[in-house]
């Protein structure tokens, strides 16, 4: 039995936080493989070590770099010294910092610079726990074109993990075929955790952060929203796509294919069960809906043409106009003689007239109307399939809250209902939906 435990930056921001992490790991012998992030913020105005590294590197490669980088470099060192001293470790990172400084001045690259946050934190963590340190650059591999190389990585990492009992594998980076360090995108330690879980065929991938799991709705809109107990990968995909973020999206793929569940946990409240992310479950969701998420800033392009529905190829021609202008569309509800395309306002704005003229040229519609400042809200839940009247309840709640619904789109999976409203109604709409399903427990 083995568990992979990944700790985010806020869980490792100080010696105090490291101690909590130490307790969590020693409380369960199966927590064998530890994936740390770089130290994050200790307080809200603090800086993440990763950001400090990016900035210091930019200074180092500029004019008079060696002299100018000094202050920033010392500030980074101080973050680690504070942790090492706070934990009473007999560990010196002097040699490591010497090498890092040299490499910065030799212009080793931004990725190399940023990766040192996790690398150094991994060394500290391994020393603190008495675990083996495994440098991710040797086992996590990217292809020459920069894409993650899942199979090579798994073939390297699997036998390595079979040889060790307890190890620390820093998150966020790996290397290209020539050995150059390469990072994932920001927040990428989540991906490393998932890759390690796949390689050791873990029973569970625990992802420790500073919240007690996924929340049913955005806490900036709903005060103290409830935590989702269990969510399927499909539901999670719908919600993250619509803007709910705790976990890096790419962290799902490696574990999903192996059927390994992810458990989101809170380092500051380790007794909380957190959220389970699973492939499928017979567990009935507590409420009809699993979660609500949404995004502002959409535009709709309404196209009308008499007898549109009889004209073969009309939709294709319209979509061609978007494709030719390199614009992806989000939703496409249609009526008998109308179709509407939802696009991101910021993407569409500059190309608006080109797209409109292309639609005219290609599809010859009667009218085209554009509406801006719209939001899309996704109401997601595997429980919707077996419950009647979900859409009805959503719409009556919105009507009572005086929200005008501009668009409705129910996915064929019956997993989600997407609603378009004015940006100005965004918060009111989310509150109304949350209240009807969660507060009123329907």
Binding site for ligand ASP (CB under 6 A): 9, 37-38, 48, 50, 117, 171-172, 186-190
* Cβ 68 to ligand ASP shortest distance, Å: 23
Find out whether 187 and 248 touch, Cβ atoms under 8 Å.
yes
In this complex, which beta carbon is closest to ligand ASP, that of residue 191 or of residue 260?
191
Looking at the DSSP bridge assignments, the partners of residue 174 are: 182
* Cβ 24 to ligand ASP shortest distance, Å: 18
Q: How far apart are CA 37 and CA 117, in angstroms?
A: 7
Q: How far apart are CA 404 and CA 96, in angstroms?
A: 60
Find out whether 153 and 205 touch, Cβ atoms under 8 Å.
no
In this complex, which beta carbon is closest to ligand ASP, that of residue 185 or of residue 357?
185
Q: Please provide the DSSP assignment of 293-362 as one string.
A: EEEEEEEEEEEE-TTGGGSTTHHHHHHHHHHHTT--EEE--B-SSEEEEEEEHHHHGGGHHHHHHHHHHH
Q: Beta strand 367-380 with 416-422: parallel, antiparallel or unpaired?
A: antiparallel
In this complex, which beta carbon is closest to ligand ASP, that of residue 36 or of residue 261?
36
* Cβ 153 to ligand ASP shortest distance, Å: 17
Q: How far apart are CA 118 and CA 419, in angstroms?
A: 41
Q: Which residue is nearest to ligand ASP (CB)?
A: 189
Looking at the DSSP bridge assignments, the partners of residue 338 are: 304
* Cβ 16 to ligand ASP shortest distance, Å: 19
* Cβ 9 to ligand ASP shortest distance, Å: 5
In this complex, which beta carbon is closest to ligand ASP, that of residue 41 or of residue 103?
41
Find out whether 211 and 226 touch, Cβ atoms under 8 Å.
no
In this complex, which beta carbon is closest to ligand ASP, that of residue 9 or of residue 383?
9
The gap from C-alpha 298 to its chain's centroid, in whole angstroms, comes to 21
Find out whether 409 and 421 touch, Cβ atoms under 8 Å.
no
In this complex, which beta carbon is closest to ligand ASP, that of residue 48 or of residue 406?
48
* Cβ 53 to ligand ASP shortest distance, Å: 9
DSSP 8-state secondary structure symbol assigned to residue 249? G
* Cβ 48 to ligand ASP shortest distance, Å: 5
In this complex, which beta carbon is closest to ligand ASP, that of residue 187 or of residue 333?
187
* Cβ 40 to ligand ASP shortest distance, Å: 7
> Using N-to-C axis directions, what is the helix angle for 49-60 and 94-105, rounded to 10°?
50
Cβ-proximal residues to 363 (8 Å cutoff; 6+ apart), any chain: 303, 305, 314, 317, 318, 321
In this complex, which beta carbon is closest to ligand ASP, that of residue 46 or of residue 423?
46
In this complex, which beta carbon is closest to ligand ASP, that of residue 80 or of residue 314?
80
Q: How far apart are CA 388 and CA 219, in angstroms?
A: 28
* Cβ 143 to ligand ASP shortest distance, Å: 21
């Amino acid at each position: 039995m083995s568990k992979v435990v990944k700790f985010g930056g806020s869980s490792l921001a100080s010696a105090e936080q490291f101690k909590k992490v130490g307790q969590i790991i020693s409380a369960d012998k199966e927590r064998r493989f530890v994936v740390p992030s770089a130290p994050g913020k200790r307080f809200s105005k603090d800086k993440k070590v990763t950001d400090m590294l990016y900035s210091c590197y930019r200074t180092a490669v500029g004019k008079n770099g060696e002299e100018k980088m000094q202050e920033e470099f010392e500030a980074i060192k101080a973050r680690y010294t504070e942790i090492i001293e706070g934990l009473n470790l007999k560990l010196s990172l002097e040699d490591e910092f010497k090498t890092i400084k040299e490499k910065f001045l030799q212009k080793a690259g931004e990725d190399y610079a940023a990766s040192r946050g996790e690398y150094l934190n991994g060394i500290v963590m391994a020393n603190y726990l008495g675990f083996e340190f495994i440098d991710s650059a040797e086992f996590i591999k990217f292809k020459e074109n920069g894409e993650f190389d899942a199979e090579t990585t798994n073939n390297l990492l699997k036998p390595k993990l079979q040889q060790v009992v307890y190890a620390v594998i820093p998150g966020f980076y790996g290397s290209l075929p020539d050995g150059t360090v390469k990072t994932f995108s920001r927040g990428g330690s989540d991906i490393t955790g998932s890759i390690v879980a796949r390689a050791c065929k873990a029973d569970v991938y625990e992802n420790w952060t500073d919240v007690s799991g996924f929340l049913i709705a955005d806490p900036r809109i709903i005060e103290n929203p409830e935590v989702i107990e269990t969510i399927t990968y499909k539901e999670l995909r719908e919600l993250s796509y619509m803007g709910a973020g705790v976990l890096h999206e790419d962290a799902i793929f490696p574990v999903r294919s192996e059927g390994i569940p992810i458990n989101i946990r809170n380092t500051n409240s380790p007794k909380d069960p957190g959220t389970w992310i699973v492939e499928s479950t017979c567990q009935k969701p507590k409420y009809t809906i699993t979660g609500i998420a949404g995004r502002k800033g959409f535009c709709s392009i309404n196209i009308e043409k008499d007898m549109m529905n009889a004209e073969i190829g009309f939709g294709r021609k319209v979509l061609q106009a978007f494709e030719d202008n390199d614009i992806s569309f989000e939703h496409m509800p249609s009526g008998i003689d109308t179709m509407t395309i939802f696009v991101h306002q910021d993407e569409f704005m500059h190309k608006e007239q080109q797209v409109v003229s292309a639609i005219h040229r290609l599809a010859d519609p009667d009218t085209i109307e554009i509406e801006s400042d719209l939001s899309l809200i996704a109401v997601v839940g595997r429980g919707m399939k077996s419950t009647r009247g979900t859409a009805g309840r959503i719409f009556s709640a919105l009507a009572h809250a005086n929200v005008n619904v501009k668009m409705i789109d129910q996915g064929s999976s019956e997993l989600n209902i997407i609603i378009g409203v004015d940006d100005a109604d965004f918060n009111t709409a989310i509150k109304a939906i949350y209240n009807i399903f969660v507060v009123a427990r329907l």
